[in-house]
Structure 1
Amino acid sequence: MAESELLVQLGVVGAYLLVALAVGVFAYRLTGRDAEDYYLASRSIGTVVLLFTTFATLLSAFTFFGGPNLAYGAGPEWILVMGLMDGILFAILWYVIGYRQWLIGKVQGYVTLGEMLGDRFGSTRLRALVAGVSLFWLFPYVMLQQMGAGEAIVGLTNGAIPYWVGAALITLFMIVYVVLAGLRGVAWTDTIQGLFMLSVVWIAVVWVLTNAGGLGTVSSSLADTKPEFLALGGGLYSPQWMISTAVTIAFGVTMFPQINQRFFVAKDARVLKRSFALWPILVVLLFVPAFLLGTWAAGLGVSVPEGSNVVPVLLNAYTPGWFAALVVAGAMAAMMSSSDSMLLSGSSYLTRDLYRPFVNPDASEEREAWVARLGVAAFAIGTFVVSLFRPGTLITVGDTAFGGFAQLALPVMVALYWPKTTRQGMLAGIAGSQLYYVAHVFIPSITLGGVTLFGATYFTWDFALYGMALSLVLTVGGSLLTTADADERADTFTVGSRAD
């Protein structure tokens, strides 16, 4: 790559990130120092901003780089998992879990999921368990963004800029941004980046098709070089794998701290309902073209160097260098928005659910803010260090985090809708399923008497689904076998159809 082209690409990436940072600085001047404004923008978010801040928060490396990479290697059916199945499933869960959580949060003033559950069941242990589990699984997903940024820089510059530079850049940016912006700045930037990414990914599709000879030529190349990509199913894409992946991702997303907190922020019920109704459309509009780019790259014979991503390599081959840089800059900024949201929400879990209840209940707002900032820096640096060891592909790391969060979803759903849920049932459901899931992630599989234990699947279905079923059985069974203590407050979850 010519030095002048490299400088142009790096200049485009740098300029885009500076614009995003300027938005954060402006938001900082408008953000109050109280927790509700800093973490929830005073519950004042409208439809467009709520929709796009949720959208851009999920525009992570898993979506924009991991998905096309999987489509490049295994075929385009990944569109069905993310573009259709999870678009619809998550919209339904946004209504079933998110709407009720918004109603309760509006009345009770909750900021975090742990705060809501801890108050309902009169338990700081439950509050800490939810926060601890969330932060544990947040670690690999933040790391995923750093891995994605590092690989994107390698692919864009053909290896001229090493992996660690991209990972370090996103780490520095996310720390500075979270310290400054708060949710208002993150949400505004998310909206800009969501609209930008929707635009450039479709421009990229048209540009690649035009320079590659049109849709007919690309389809013919795909049929010649990868004929199996034109048949539905087969290989990786078994029905069991597709359903398991769609379910764990959709349920896991609802428990992500950065997504779950957005269930609290809508200014009224109409905003929330319009947002989850429009969600599937928005998902399809982004995921379909992104994953098609990965599929077409395989058909066109694009060679992807080890340690890089297919999208920047494809764009370098079929579009001008400045446009490839612009797309990668937007994708990196979207990954940073995801990271910013994760770290912002994670800091609220750290300070409100762990620091205040267990370390310093009388801490001032100023002290809490400093603990949050130091926690963000330590967490981000920790994930950066681990990301340098490349512990798996983007899909593997992301899927592991999704499955861990998915174990929380059914106990939370039971608590929201079943007044007879008890503290002991919740502790059993969450702790039991997490122990099961962690064992399957970290203990190597063993075979005894022809039976495989701690394997990836049981009877061809992903082990994460069995963990979710276990969480439901333990929560309901534990609640039926125990009696609610006097300090449990089922009335806090008693709300009507709207919060006035």
Structure 2
Amino acid sequence: MNAIGIQLGIVVAYLCLALVIGLLAFRVTERTAEDFYLASRSFGTIVLLFTTFATLLSAFTFFGGPNLAYAQGPEWILVMGLMDGIIFAVLWYVIGYKQWLIGNRHDYVTLGEMLGDRFGSVGLRGLVAVASLFWLFPYVMLQQMGAGAALSGLTDGVLPFWAGAALVTVFMIVYVVLAGMRGIAWTDTVQGAFMLVIIWVAALWVLDAVSGAGAATATVAESNPEFLALGSDFYTPEYMLSTAISIGFGVAMFPQVNQRFFTAGSKTVFKQTFVLWPVLVLLLFVPAFMLGTWAAGLGIEVDVAAGENVVPLLLNEYTPVWFAALVIAGAMAAMMSSSDSMLLSGSSYFTRDIYRPFVDADISDRREDLLGRIGVVVFATATFFASLRQPGTLIEIGDLAFSGFAQLAFPVIVALYWRKTTLSGMYAGIGGSQLFYLLAVFTPVVPATYFGWNASVVGMGLGLVLTVGVSAATTAAPGERRSRFLYGSGAD
């Protein structure tokens, strides 16, 4: 069998293994919306930790990050590893634990459902769902772009971009429709552990081939000496901090991550995962991004602007065919584990926060379950066709999605912790920050940066000020129910 046949065989075999796990989960999945979306709120520490971890292992991590490290240097480790490992860990507790307590008490499935019930507003529920689905679209598309580029790079262009994107799209549709949250979590646990091991093996294999870390770093010192100094015209303090803040807060608002806040089986499970999170993040990001940095010194030619990714090309150069294919298979599975979670959560936002309150309030659990599976097919197909246009780099699209979700964070935090938050304040905070960021991204009306700080952080600040200011100036709407949330002594 030729090299390309071996590579594709390994990739497809790995994806089929993931599908088998999904089929096993299908056999024990109840035909209810809560079990399909939240696995009946039964996750233990290891499963919750690794399903969240694998959900965030995306094309943004495995290809976008190394590409940026290849082009600009390894400081991206600080942005994604140290800063966002810590920021998201803090938010895991500040937002997630409070959300878990409230969700357990009232059986909430989505963020919009929780906020809509607290403020007595289906309009707010719909606003959160629409904003979330809007920003979810480019991030699902990013996974398909990453898969297409990865397989094209692995096979030296024999398999075209569209075919790689189509392959992962078909697998993730079948997988999500069959497996639901339980199957996703089972596979995520296997994939997260596998990718953590395989990325370290890849880094050590490459280093062994080039005579060690010292020799690899020496080549970087010769070709790109600026990479070994902290900071640059690209990695300014303002850029690094604003990007880290946007990504950290955006992660907490991603539907596929935020919804996992409802799935912990106990208080102990939740607190243990929050402590372990930063360690797990650093263990993955350091070798992944250093591979990109070392590739710059080793003379690997990568046309990032044309959609090429550095990791497949580096592995093809320094590792056997079968191992390079195994790493890419694992990375694709990680992308699928991000996409399947996104599709599942997006489906729940559509069925529970848009269809149920605005179309059919009396829809049965089984019909909602069916509608959710249909929604997965439609959404994934739409993002696939959009991905074929390749509207930007992986980093650009990922940053767009993270920053869009980040606009939701401060209004949600204020609502969780301040009893006097009003419906008017929530509309102003969410609507105002979303509108500001949309104008900054898609029009010249609002500047994209402010003294080096990106518009996302400015929009987040605007959302905070509007939520607090308008809430302070208005009274509670008739339908608001402050008792639905846990304030003061009842918060723990």
Per the alignment, in what secondary structure is the counterpart of residue 404 of structure 1?
A: helix
Map of 1:491 onto structure 2: 483
Further displaced range: 368-377 or 52-61: 368-377
Q: Does 1:465 align with 2:457?
A: yes
Q: 8 Å contact 1:57–1:258 — kept in the other structure?
A: yes
Measure the CA separation in 1 of the matches of 2:488 and 2:433: 31
- Opposite residue 312 of structure 1, the aligned amino acid is P
Map of 1:259 onto structure 2: 257
Q: 8 Å contact 2:436–2:446 — kept in the other structure?
A: no
Give the drift of 1:499: 9.0
Residue ranges of structure 2 left out of the alignment (5+ in a row): none
Map of 1:449 onto structure 2: none
Map of 1:116 onto structure 2: 114
Measure the CA separation in 1 of the matches of 2:148 and 2:254: 23
Per the alignment, in what secondary structure is the counterpart of residue 2 of structure 2?
A: helix
Give the drift of 1:296: 0.4
Map of 1:126 onto structure 2: 124
Measure the CA separation in 1 of the matches of 2:102 and 2:366: 28
- Opposite residue 373 of structure 1, the aligned amino acid is R
Give the drift of 1:30: 0.5
TM-score normalised to structure 1 length: 0.96
Q: 8 Å contact 2:98–2:491 — kept in the other structure?
A: no
Q: Does 1:138 align with 2:136?
A: yes
Q: 8 Å contact 2:418–2:487 — kept in the other structure?
A: no
Q: 8 Å contact 2:69–2:290 — kept in the other structure?
A: yes
- Opposite residue 425 of structure 1, the aligned amino acid is G
Measure the CA separation in 1 of the matches of 2:434 and 2:213: 47
Residue ranges of structure 1 left out of the alignment (5+ in a row): 446-452
Map of 2:342 onto structure 1: 342
Give the drift of 1:454: 2.4
Using a 3 Å threshold, how does the CA distance of structure 1 residues 496 and 193 change in structure 2: closer, same or farther? farther
Map of 1:450 onto structure 2: none
Map of 1:234 onto structure 2: 232
Q: How does 1:83-482 map to 2 (within 5 A)?
A: 83-305=81-303, 306-443=306-443, 445=444, 453-482=445-474
Q: 8 Å contact 1:257–1:345 — kept in the other structure?
A: yes
Q: 8 Å contact 1:23–1:189 — kept in the other structure?
A: yes
Using a 3 Å threshold, how does the CA distance of structure 1 residues 283 and 362 change in structure 2: closer, same or farther? same
Q: 8 Å contact 2:32–2:366 — kept in the other structure?
A: no
- Opposite residue 115 of structure 1, the aligned amino acid is E
Give the drift of 1:282: 0.2
Match among 39, 42, 45 for residue 44 of structure 1 = 42
- CA deviation string 1:344-382 (max 9, x = no partner): 001000000000111111112222122212211111111
Measure the CA separation in 2 of the matches of 1:50 and 1:477: 36
Measure the CA separation in 2 of the matches of 1:43 and 1:29: 18
Using a 3 Å threshold, how does the CA distance of structure 1 residues 205 and 194 change in structure 2: closer, same or farther? same
- CA deviation string 1:23-79 (max 9, x = no partner): 000001001111111111111100000000000000010011100000000000000
Map of 1:448 onto structure 2: none
Give the drift of 1:190: 0.3
Q: 8 Å contact 1:107–1:499 — kept in the other structure?
A: no
Give the drift of 1:214: 1.6
Map of 2:59 onto structure 1: 61
Kindly report the root-mean-square deviation, in angstroms, between the aligned alpha carbons of the 2 structures: 1.2
- Opposite residue 359 of structure 1, the aligned amino acid is V
Map of 1:11 onto structure 2: 9
Further displaced range: 383-392 or 213-222: 213-222
Measure the CA separation in 2 of the matches of 1:79 and 1:419: 38
Measure the CA separation in 1 of the matches of 2:414 and 2:239: 26
Give the drift of 1:321: 0.6
Measure the CA separation in 1 of the matches of 2:31 and 2:428: 37
- Opposite residue 414 of structure 1, the aligned amino acid is V
Further displaced range: 71-80 or 165-174: 165-174
Per the alignment, in what secondary structure is the counterpart of residue 230 of structure 2?
A: coil
- Opposite residue 169 of structure 1, the aligned amino acid is L
- Opposite residue 411 of structure 1, the aligned amino acid is P
Deviation >4 Å, runs of 4+: 495-500
TM-score normalised to structure 2 length: 0.98
- Opposite residue 459 of structure 2, the aligned amino acid is G
Q: 8 Å contact 1:103–1:498 — kept in the other structure?
A: no
Per the alignment, in what secondary structure is the counterpart of residue 407 of structure 2?
A: helix
Q: 8 Å contact 1:356–1:362 — kept in the other structure?
A: yes
- Opposite residue 453 of structure 2, the aligned amino acid is W
Q: Does 1:21 align with 2:19?
A: yes
Q: 8 Å contact 1:24–1:181 — kept in the other structure?
A: yes
Using a 3 Å threshold, how does the CA distance of structure 1 residues 220 and 21 change in structure 2: closer, same or farther? same
Measure the CA separation in 2 of the matches of 1:78 and 1:152: 21
What is the number of equivalent residue pairs in this alignment? 490
- CA deviation string 1:281-319 (max 9, x = no partner): 000000000000000000100112532210010000000
- Opposite residue 365 of structure 1, the aligned amino acid is D
Q: What fraction of aligned residue pairs are identical, expressed as a percent?
A: 67
Measure the CA separation in 2 of the matches of 1:495 and 1:46: 27
Measure the CA separation in 2 of the matches of 1:275 and 1:373: 29
